[in-house]
C-alpha cells in the first residue's frame, strides 16, 4: 500500500466585528479551544475591555467534530498528518488576514489571541505566518515545543488560571522561561480560576491590550 496526499479546497469560517470608531484600527485575531466554535472565541474577544477599538476576528478551525456531549465543534489538528495540518492552518489564517486587510481600513498593528488548543495555533500564526504580529496573547495553552521562540512573536501575554489542571503551573513556568531565554518581552499572568475565562482574566487582558 502507498499513501498519497492531494491538496484540495475547503471553506473556512471567521467572524468579524468592526471597531466602534471610524478610520484605521488594529486587528485582533483569535483562535478557539478544542471542540469550540468561532462564536466561543468571538464572545471572548469582544468581552476584553478596550477591544471595541479593534477589529475583532474569530477564526474557526477547519476540522469539524462532535464533542463527547454530542455538540458540534471544531479542532485545529491531531497527531495524524500533523505537518500537513499545520501548513494548511497557517495558510488559512494568512488568507483570512489578507482578506480583512483588503476590505477594511486595518492598521499595521496585529495581535493574535489563543485559548487552550488555540494557543498553539496563535503561536504558529505568529511565528510561521506571513503577517508579523505586534503582540501575542495565550490563555490556558502552551507554546508548541517544536517552535523556536523569537522576538517575531511580538510582546507576549502568557496567562493561566491558578486551578487549571490542563495547563499546569509547571508548563506555564516552562513557557515563560522559554520566552525569556529567547529575549521575547513577556507579561506572565496567573489569575484565580480554572481552565475558563473569567472577569479576572479579561481585566488583565484588557490592560495588556491598552499598552499596545
What integer is the mean pLDDT of 138-163?
A: 95
The DSSP code for 37 is: -
Q: Provide the β-strand partners of residue 64.
A: 74
The DSSP code for 190 is: E
38: left (phi over 0), alpha (psi -120 to 50) or beta: alpha
**pLDDT-based confidence at residue 82 (cuts at 50, 70, 90):** confident
Q: Is the pTM for the entire model greater than 0.85?
A: yes
Whether 5 and 81 have beta carbons less than 8 Å apart is answered as yes
- Domain boundaries in the chain? 14-210
**Segments in the chain forming alpha helices (H):** 38-47, 82-103, 117-128, 169-181, 199-210
Assigned superfamily of 14-210:
Alpha/Beta hydrolase fold, catalytic domain (3.40.50.1820)
**Segments in 136-184 forming alpha helices (H):** 169-181
pLDDT at 79 over 90: no
pLDDT computed for residue 3 by the predictor: 85
pLDDT at 212 over 90: no
Whether 189 and 164 have beta carbons less than 8 Å apart is answered as no
Cα–Cα distance for residue pair 166/141, rounded to 1 Å: 8
Cell 477589529, residue located = 55
| CB-neighbour burial class of residue 4 (10 A; exposed 0-12, middle 13-18, buried 19+) | exposed
What integer is the mean pLDDT of 138-157?
A: 94
Number of H helices, E strands in the chain: 5, 9
Amino acid at each position: 500500500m502507498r499513501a498519497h496526499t492531494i491538496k484540495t479546497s475547503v471553506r473556512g469560517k471567521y467572524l468579524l466585528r468592526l471597531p466602534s470608531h471610524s478610520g484605521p484600527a488594529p486587528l485582533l485575531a483569535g483562535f478557539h479551544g478544542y471542540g469550540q466554535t468561532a462564536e466561543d472565541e468571538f464572545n471572548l474577544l469582544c468581552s476584553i475591555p478596550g477591544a471595541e477599538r479593534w477589529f475583532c476576528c474569530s477564526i474557526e478551525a477547519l476540522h469539524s467534530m462532535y464533542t463527547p456531549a454530542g455538540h458540534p465543534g471544531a479542532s485545529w489538528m491531531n497527531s495524524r498528518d500533523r505537518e500537513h495540518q499545520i501548513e494548511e492552518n497557517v495558510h488559512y489564517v494568512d488568507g483570512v488576514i489578507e482578506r480583512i486587510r483588503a476590505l477594511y481600513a486595518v492598521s499595521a498593528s496585529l495581535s493574535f489571541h489563543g485559548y487552550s488548543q488555540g494557543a498553539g495555533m496563535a503561536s504558529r500564526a505568529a511565528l510561521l505566518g506571513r503577517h508579523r504580529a505586534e503582540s501575542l496573547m495565550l490563555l490556558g495553552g502552551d507554546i508548541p515545543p517544536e517552535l523556536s521562540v523569537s522576538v517575531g512573536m511580538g510582546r507576549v501575554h502568557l496567562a493561566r488560571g491558578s486551578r487549571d489542571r490542563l495547563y499546569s503551573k509547571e508548563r506555564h513556568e516552562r513557557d515563560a522561561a522559554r520566552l525569556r531565554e529567547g529575549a521575547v518581552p513577556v507579561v506572565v499572568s496567573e489569575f484565580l480560576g480554572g481552565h475558563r475565562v473569567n472577569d479576572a482574566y479579561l481585566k488583565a487582558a484588557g490592560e495588556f491590550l491598552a499598552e499596545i
